[in-house]
A and B are shown apart, each in its own frame.
Chain A
Amino acid sequence: MTAQPEKRWLLPLFAAVILIYFVSESFLRQATVARINPAAVAMDEILAGLPDPVRKKISFRITLMQLQTNLKNAGSPGSRASALYALAYFHETEKTGEHMPYYRELLDSYRNEREAYPVYIRFLFEPEDRNEGITEKVFHEYQKTLPPEERFYAWTSAYNKLRSIEDEVSPNADRIARFLEPLSEIPDPPFLEYAPLFAELARFARLSGRIETAEKATVMSDKCSYKRSISEFLMQQEEDRQFREEMENRKAGS
């Protein structure tokens, strides 16, 4: 009989103690966090203090939120294309399985933008059922629309991808030469870095019996050796941009 009354007050007491524990802990935690100036502590420092599995999950969320915000804030078609690709690539590398909708949206709405060239590289040389319509021919047509520096990056990336899927010791010279052949249609390749690309075209063209293409590529390679490098070009562009900005500021000031 005495056990029953005792048991009756024990559970409410236990519940009350648990509640007091949660309330006091919450108060102390808020008081502790309030002492910290968020601006003085970098996100990296916060993440470094967390256990590895927790850090990876939170880093994933942070990166995803940043990419989604970039997409939301992207105004121009070009910036939307870049943001979509970044989001798709992130999902693909993190193996979430959610990358294809972003790639498809990019190809459906922004395939002609200069910023879309990475998605062409992504699907280039893929089997027919997985290439989303991006064939070598489609790439060749697209690269004509690109400005000089993006054109160079697109060709380099595409060539590197092709070499990675070809056999290292005995690659298919005809396939490589056929793919690189439109390089010769560039009227005046502007960068020094085109030289090795043309040299490779020359080599594979010679191996596959396309002598005329090989000779033309050799001449182009020599011509490119006297051009400025792409980094000089970009630096010049940046200097021009800063100069234009300064002129505009002076005009606005006066």
Chain B
Amino acid sequence: MWTVTGLTFRKFKEPAFFLMLAFAIMTGYAVSEMDPVSDQVAGNAILSHLLGHQPGSEPVLTSTFAALLISMLLSCFTGAVEIPREISSGQIQHWLSKPISRTSYLLGKYFGILLICATFFCATELSVILSHYIHSGTCYSIPLIARQFLMMTMFIPYTAVILMFSCCAGDIAAIIFTLLYILFSLLFNLVPILIAMLPQGFAGDVEESIFILYYLFPNNLYFLLDFPLFGIVSGMLVIYSFSIAAIFLMAADYQFRHMDLSKRG
């Protein structure tokens, strides 16, 4: 499994990846001096309450949010084509001729793509931290930096989503489905929270129908909340991320184990 992970990660040596990495670093420099997300949403009454700065906790910087978006976008493009291309080129037959189960192969790919996401994110974040140091002469505090890197928990479920779509569809279709999925998840983020804010009984039967759809998508707002680094909320967030990843990986595993992996034209 780790061999698959390593070989997936080695794609970073390709020139295209270096270009994407350079783009990520430059973007990190460009957004390094932006205010935290809590300040950016101050104009919106509800979002300012949800994402507002809490005493005793560290905020999420807008540059981190930008780094996250870029990393997810780049990993979407790279991760979505991994398995379909290996199937169409026949390389997957080479893997499965080794004593490696399909599940191990899938998990290897998952961790490989996760590593790619993390690398892009870390590179962008380091660029942000260095740029801030160069501009202001001061460095961000360790808790603040740690809070930014905690955002990487967002990659855990989304990498699983990318992998699941890539098992179900071809490379281009997987990219499209993943992007649409992320878009729909953003649309649904605020709705259940707004409904939860209504007095009891106001939502009525709307509540059931909305929640059926809502549970199909991860809520990105939870990752942007200000909370103490070591607490129940952060622990629950990690559990939440892993549970979503597990659901999608199990679905991907089921699909992958029943797929015809013969070379396609």
Contacts and interface: CB of A to CB of B under 8 A. Distances in A.
Interface in A25-43: 25, 27-33, 35-38, 40-43
Interface in A1-35: 10, 13-14, 17-18, 20-22, 24-25, 27-33, 35
Contacts of B56: none
Interface residues of A, number: 37
A35 B233 contact: no
Contacts of A10: 250
A42 B194 CA distance: 11
A54 interface: yes
Contacts of B246: 17
The interface size bin for chain B is 35 or more
A252 interface: no
A65 interface: yes
Interface string A91-128: 00000000000000000000000000000000000000
A27 B236 contact: yes
A47 B202 CA distance: 11
Contact of A58 (B52, B202, B237): B202
Interface stretch (B85-93, B173-181, B214-222): B214-222
Interface string B168-209: 000000000000000000000011111111100111101000
B247 A28 contact: no
Interface in B41-87: 45-46, 49-50, 52, 54
A72 interface: no
A129 interface: no
Nearest to B237: A28
Interface string B227-250: 100001100110110011011001
Contact of A21 (B195, B204, B240): B240
A18 to B, nearest CB: 7
A35 B46 contact: no
Q: Is the interface of B mostly helix, strand, loop or mixed?
A: helix
Contact of B49 (A21, A36, A58, A65): A36
A41 B49 contact: yes
A110 B242 CA distance: 63
Given A51-B191, A57-B206, A58-B206, A40 B247 contact: no
B225 interface: yes
Contacts of B202: 58, 61-62, 65
B49 A20 contact: no
Contacts of A37: 49
A90 B196 CA distance: 26
Contacts of A57: 204, 206
Nearest to B254: A10
B198 A46 contact: yes
Contacts of A58: 195, 198, 202-204, 206
B196 A33 contact: yes
B210 interface: yes
A21 B244 contact: yes
A49 to B, nearest CB: 5
Contacts of B196: 29-30, 33
A29 to B, nearest CB: 6
A50 interface: yes
B197 A65 contact: no
B193 to A, nearest CB: 6
B57 to A, nearest CB: 11
A250 B201 CA distance: 44
13 contacts: A10-B250, A17-B243, A22-B215, A27-B232, A28-B236, A33-B197, A35-B50, A35-B52, A38-B197, A40-B49, A41-B46, A54-B206, A65-B201
Given A13-B250, A40-B45, A54-B206, 18 more contacts: A17-B243, A21-B215, A21-B243, A22-B215, A28-B237, A28-B240, A29-B219, A35-B52, A36-B46, A38-B197, A40-B49, A42-B45, A45-B46, A51-B191, A58-B195, A58-B202, A61-B202, A61-B203
Interface of B: 45-46, 49-50, 52, 54, 190-198, 201-204, 206, 210, 215, 219, 221-222, 225, 227, 232-233, 236-237, 239-240, 243-244, 246-247, 250
**Which A-B residue pairs are the 4 nearest by beta carbons?**
A21-B243, A24-B240, A36-B49, A17-B246
